[in-house]
Amino acid sequence: MANKVDKTVLIDDSDIDLFIQRRFLEVYNFSHQLVSYKSANEALNWLRNINGDGVPDIIFLDLNMPETDGFMFLKNFEKLPESIKKKIRIVVLTSSNSLKDREEVFENKNVIQFITKPIKQSDIEELQRIIGTRPEI
């Protein structure tokens, strides 16, 4: 069983939330590499241009963002090549606790977890159980 995921991407328009998420994942030793995007469009453009190298294992996605929100990101994510989509698991990390939002995001087969901010240790432990990783001791 792997100890950490190789690459994690954080997508959130809030600098404060990105900082908190990054620090939490660093402290919890979750990933070898953390990449942040302040907009869903930037992240989608990056995903469209990678050629299979450097595909992230996990994307933490905020739902409430200007321009392109998390729901639109998920719709556009579906248009990516299967070779990229099949490698990525998405964790929705949002301030929303709406059952409707939860049901809608789980229509995307790549979404594996819905977390209401702030992220907690128990959320990471549950995610690690889902993806089969554990922190290094």
pLDDT of residue 17: 95
Q: Is residue 137 part of a domain?
A: no
In a domain, 29, yes or no: yes
* φ and ψ of 85, to 5 deg: -55, -40
Count of structural domains, the chain: 1
The answer to whether position 136 is within a domain reads no
pLDDT of residue 77: 97
Task: Order the strands of the 31-37 sheet from edge to edge.
Answer: 31-37, 5-11, 58-61, 89-94, 111-116
Spans of the chain below 50 pLDDT: 1-2, 136-137
Whether 105 maps to a domain, the answer reads: yes
Of 60, 52, 61, 56, the residue nearest 6 (C-alpha): 56
Q: Are the beta carbons of 121 and 100 closer than 8 angstroms?
A: no
Residue 85 lies in a domain: yes
Q: Are strands 5-11 and 31-37 parallel, antiparallel or unpaired?
A: parallel
The whole model's pTM is what? 0.93
Structural domain boundaries, residue 30: 5-131
Provide the pLDDT for residue 78: 96
Confidence (pLDDT) at 55: 94
CATH number where 37 lies: 3.40.50.2300
